[in-house]
Amino acid sequence: MTDDAAVEAPVTLRETRETSAASPARLDTHALNAYFGAVHAIKDVTLALPDRRVTAVIGPSGCGKSTFLRCLNRMHETIPGTRVSGRVLLDGADIYAPGSNPIRVRRHIGMVFQRPTPFPTMSVRDNVAAGLRILGKDTPGKRETDAIVERALQRAALWEEVKDRLGASATALSGGQQQRLCIARALATEPEVLLLDEPTASLDPLSTQRVEELVYELRRDMTVVIVTHNMQQAARVSDMTAFFLSGEMVEAAPTRALFTTPADQRTEAYITGRFG
């Protein structure tokens, strides 16, 4: 399993894209507020998401952790009646600045959802290549696309399982495979940041383990933010953990510190299972 992920893809074709990842990407939020109509869902969250680390966002249902994640790639605003204020800096540039294009932002900040969302009309290969096709004149040619697809599938630890059926419908894969396919699809465009919204909530324990191992591997070359209900999962995969409660960020600290010596009483109450 980890062996697959560790297999290095032929790098030759990818050299040019690698250079952009060399400059450290980092995501910062400053006084971030999000609203659903009149409901104040995220209150004044200021948080730095360290580069090449996994940050876990935990908290009870409805605490705003998914909304927070969706603010990071401007997906929140796709729901009618929603509003965002404050700043989110990607490499120091505010993604909410006037003139900033949400489409472009989302190409740099990938996202994977709770339920696997392969495009049912597309083959396995075309699903992974979906994000490459819309790059306009930067869309790679067929051979380069094939190489990128293979590499993305290898990084998502799915290559060995699907290499003989790249032309098959993506819906023919199992749930766990579909989720890794979605991760591969998000990785294909080489985003600087990957947002995972409860990526294992609909998976069985074995598939969950695979995705967790994958997340652990991904930190090598990107910034990962993972929302999870599962505190063990947060403890297993993350370097830093942020605890959310009713729209506020209560505490953010290195994972080990947060779980062993929480600074806030509410955090302690939550992680010791007194509520939520």
Partner 1 sequence: MSTPLVARPQVPPRRPRPSQSQRAFAERTQRTLWRRRLVNRVMVVILGTAAIVATLPLLFILFHLVKEGASAISLDFFTRMPKPVGEAGGGLANGIVGTLILVGVAAAIGLPIGVGAGLYLAENGRTRLANTVRFLSDVLNGLPSIVMGIFAWQFLVRPIGHFSALAGSVALAAMMIPMVTRTTEEMVRLVPVALREAALALGYTRWRTSLTVVLRTATAGIVTGALVAIARIAGETAPLLFTAFGNQFWSVRLSEPIAALPLQIFTYAVSPYDEWHALAWAGALVLIALVLLISLAARFATRARFGGMGD
Q: Closer to partner 1 by CB, 123 or 246: give it.
A: 123
**3-state class of 40 per DSSP?**
strand
- Binds partner 1 (CB under 8 A): choice among 28, 30, 48, 169: 169
Question: Tokens 């399982």 correspond to what residue?
Answer: 161
Give CA 234 to chain center in angstroms: 14
Does position 111 bind partner 1 by CB under 8 A? yes
Nearest CA-CA partner of 104 in 142, 73, 141: 73
Q: Closer to partner 1 by CB, 35 or 113: give it.
A: 113
Does position 177 bind partner 1 by CB under 8 A? no
**3-state class of 54 per DSSP?**
strand
Stretch that binds partner 1, among 70-78, 157-165, 206-214, 219-227 (CB under 8 A): 70-78
Stretch that binds partner 1, among 35-43, 119-127, 155-163, 224-232 (CB under 8 A): 119-127
- Binds partner 1 (CB under 8 A): choice among 29, 66, 76, 110: 110
Q: Cβ of residue 90: shortest distance to partner 1, in angstroms? A: 14
Does position 228 bind partner 1 by CB under 8 A? no
- Binds partner 1 (CB under 8 A): choice among 22, 98, 103, 143: 103
- Binds partner 1 (CB under 8 A): choice among 151, 185, 210, 266: 185
Radius of gyration of the chain (CA): 18
Region 121-160 residues binding partner 1, contact defined as CB under 8 A: 121-123, 126, 130-131, 134, 142
CA distance 175 to 196: 16
Query: Who's near 42: CB < 8 A, 6+ residues apart?
Result: 32, 33, 34, 64, 67, 68, 71, 247
Exposure string (b/e) for 107-116, b if CB count within 10 Å is 16 or more? bbbbbbbbeb
> Which secondary structure element, helix H or strand E, spans residue 266, and what is its range?
helix 265-271
Q: Closer to partner 1 by CB, 172 or 263: give it.
A: 172
Does position 17 bind partner 1 by CB under 8 A? no
Q: Are 247 and 42 in contact (CB under 8 A)?
A: yes
> Site residues (CB under 8 A) for partner 1?
73, 75, 78, 103-104, 106-107, 110-111, 113, 115, 117, 119-123, 126, 130-131, 134, 142, 167, 169, 171, 182, 185-186, 189
